[in-house]
């Protein structure tokens, strides 16, 4: 769809949304739903942006299909973490629990009980244990979904107060022959989980011990869920495409600021500009602490200090992305911080990385029977060949990997930035995998390398959906400028697309 048409549609959506008077709504829940936040979840039937209640239900059935009869899968959700006193971190739900439920509230537990091998609705029971609604707590913290929301909105078959978790889970375990559970705690849970304000509503004593000391065979659960999460559904790909489009547009806008009257002077202002644009464009937040590195700071692969100045004779390197509905974008780009464009050494190295990036994307094709490791090996060879075409370089694959390209070609991407790490790099890629392709070169200050290339760090990273064939490969970040001519045009002329700076009010996936 043409950009102008998309913008026109969005503007028409915004115009149809009256901001003068809040419409009446008696529903009170602890996270956005179509009923309470239709501008975030416009489509009826979706539980989270772009993902329907039916899809969450199907995910649970797919997990149950991997379990034997008389078995139980248990996931303990995350709790609120505090940095100091009453100051809490942004809450992050356990992503396996979120993947199966869409539930975003803390101090909760889910279980899937499979009674037999029939595979019908009665055979699989979805249990949720959540904090009940508490008027005193909601006075301070806002609405919560409670047991009623877990049942009515999130479609649990059986719901209980989290304070009864130990006895409830123990009774489920006693009825089961096999238990699937991941022990994610290094220390025993010998104290109750409480909110800072100490209302004492939910108690969660030693549930980890209850499960581990049950006397039942405990099998790891994460591997089963990873197999599901590694292949994205059409709905997930749509959400990730939206996340990547918003993130790509934001990065393009940052490039377009170079020749304006108000260019960025520091790494930190560029970092905050990107975060602001991600959210303004429709993302919930940034997906991770970004890398914003001027010049030789880019030689540090995960440079996140972002506290230096941006110098005009250096490249700006960024690794950043937004997050929408839990799904991450992950993009790396580099551009000159001056309207004259790339210097010759910068351009030479950039073209080496860009060529390898494009060749590796073409390998994201199930019919080729490649693994992520196969693509990595190809990327090393490609960088070596391309480098040796430049004067002053005469390197072998080992030297490329050891000194100039010390990281991997990419990783799976999804709800986690480095998604489903239990999936081996040697596993053959299949249709629906979403991976990053991110070759890079980082030339140290060492006389072993040509002097005019020293101190330059470049990585070009795209988010790619593996296709059944070459024609079905989707580059989710194709809208983020990366050709040299396009970058130089953007930094010299900026962005003039009508409506590009409008805030996205109604989410459009």
DSSP letters spanning 153-193 = TS--SEEEEGGGHHHHHHHHHHH-SEEE-----SS---S--
pLDDT, residue 133, reads: 95
Q: Provide the residue-wise pLDDT of the chain in tens; the chain has 509 residues.
A: 333 343 344 434 443 566 788 888 888 999 999 999 999 999 999 999 999 999 999 999 999 999 999 999 999 999 999 999 999 999 999 999 999 999 999 999 999 999 986 656 679 999 999 999 999 999 999 999 999 999 999 999 999 999 999 999 999 999 999 999 998 764 443 343 433 333 333 344 489 889 999 999 899 999 999 999 999 999 999 999 999 999 999 999 999 999 999 999 999 999 999 999 999 999 999 999 999 999 999 999 999 999 999 999 999 999 999 999 999 999 999 999 999 999 999 999 999 999 999 999 999 999 999 999 999 999 999 999 999 999 999 999 999 999 999 999 999 999 999 999 899 999 999 999 999 999 999 999 999 999 999 999 999 999 999 999 999 999 999 999 999 999 999 999 998 888 888 999 999 88
Position 20 scores a pLDDT of 80
Fold of 67-221: Creatine Amidinohydrolase; Chain A, domain 1 (3.40.350)
- Secondary structure (3-state) at 456: coil
- The side-by-side arrangement of strands in the sheet containing 474-475 is 434-437, 462-465, 474-475
Both structure tokens of 210:
């209850």
- The residues near 236 (Cβ < 8 Å, ≥ 6 apart) are 50, 51, 327, 414, 434
Who's near 84: CB < 8 A, 6+ residues apart? none
Which residue matches tokens 């239990």? 422
Q: Cα(435)–Cα(477) distance, rounded to whole angstroms?
A: 12
Task: Measure the CA–CA gap between 137 and 131, rounded to whole angstroms.
Answer: 11
Helices 344-361, 484-493: inter-axial angle, 10-degree rounding: 120
**3-class SS at 126?**
strand
Q: 3-state secondary structure string, 429-448?
A: CCCCCEEEECCEEECCCCCC
| N- to C-terminal Cα separation, the chain | 13
Which of the following CATH numbers is that of domain 230-493: 3.90.230.10, 3.20.20.370, 3.10.20.440, 3.20.20.140?
3.90.230.10
Residue 508: the pLDDT is 84
HSE-up of 180 (CA within 13 Å, CB side)? 22
pLDDT of residue 9: 46
Task: Write out the DSSP string of 301-352.
Answer: TT-----SB--TTSEEEEEE-EEETTEE--EEEEEESSTT---HHHHHHHHH
Pairing status of strand 46-48 against strand 51-52: antiparallel
Domain ranges in the chain are 67-221, 230-493
């Amino acid at each position: 769809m043409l950009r102008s048409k998309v913008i026109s549609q969005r503007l028409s959506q915004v115009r149809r949304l009256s901001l003068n008077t809040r419409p009446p709504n008696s529903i009170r829940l602890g996270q956005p739903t179509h009923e309470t936040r239709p501008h975030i979840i416009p489509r009826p039937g979706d539980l989270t942006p772009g993902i329907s209640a039916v899809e969450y239900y199907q995910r649970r059935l797919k997990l149950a299909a991997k379990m034997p009869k008389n078995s139980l899968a248990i996931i303990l959700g995350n709790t609120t973490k505090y940095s100091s006193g009453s100051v809490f971190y942004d809450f992050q739900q356990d992503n396996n629990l979120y993947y199966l439920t869409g539930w975003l509230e803390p101090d909760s537990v889910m279980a899937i009980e499979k009674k037999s091998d029939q595979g019908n609705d009665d055979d699989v029971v979805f249990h949720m244990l959540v904090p009940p609604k508490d008027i005193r707590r909601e006075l301070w913290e806002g609405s919560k979904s409670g047991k009623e929301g877990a049942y009515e909105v999130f479609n649990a078959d059986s719901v209980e107060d989290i304070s009864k978790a130990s006895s409830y889970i123990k009774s489920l375990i006693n009825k089961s022959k096999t238990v699937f559970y991941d022990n994610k705690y290094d220390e025993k849970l010998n104290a109750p989980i409480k909110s800072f304000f100490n209302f004492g509503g939910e108690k969660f004593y030693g549930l980890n011990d209850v499960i581990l000391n049950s006397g039942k065979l405990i099998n790891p659960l994460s591997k089963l869920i990873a197999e599901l999460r590694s292949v994205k559904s059409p709905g997930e790909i749509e959400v990730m495409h939206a996340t990547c489009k918003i993130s790509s547009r934001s990065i393009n806008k940052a490039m377009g600021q170079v020749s304006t009257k108000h260019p960025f002077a520091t790494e930190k202002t560029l970092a905050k500009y990107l975060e602001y644009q991600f959210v303004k464009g429709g993302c919930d937040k940034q997906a991770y602490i970004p890398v914003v590195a001027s010049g030789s700071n880019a030689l540090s692969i995960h440079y996140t200090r972002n506290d230096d100045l941006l110098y005009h004779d250096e490249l700006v390197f960024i690794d950043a992305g937004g997050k929408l509905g839990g799904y991450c974008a992950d993009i790396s780009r580099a551009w000159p911080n001056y309207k004259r464009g790339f210097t010759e050494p910068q351009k030479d190295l950039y073209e080496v990385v860009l060529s390898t990036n494009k060749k590796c994307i073409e390998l994201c094709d199930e019919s080729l029977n490649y693994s992520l490791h196969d693509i990595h090996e190809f990327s090393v060879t490609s960088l070596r060949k391309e480098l040796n075409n430049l004067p002053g370089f005469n390197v072998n694959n080992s030297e490329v990997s050891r000194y100039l390209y010390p990281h991997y070609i990419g990783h799976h991407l999804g709800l986690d930035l480095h998604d489903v790490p239990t999936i081996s790099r040697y596993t053959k890629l299949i249709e629906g995998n979403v991976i990053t392709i991110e070759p890079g070169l980082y030339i140290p200050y060492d006389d072993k390398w040509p002097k005019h290339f020293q101190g330059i760090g470049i990585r070009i990273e795209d988010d790619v959906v593996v296709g059944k064939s070459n024609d079905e490969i989707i580059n989710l970040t194709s809208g983020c400028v990366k050709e040299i001519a396009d970058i130089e045009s953007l930094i010299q002329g900026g962005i003039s697309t009508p409506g590009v700076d409008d805030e996205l009010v109604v989410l459009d996936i």
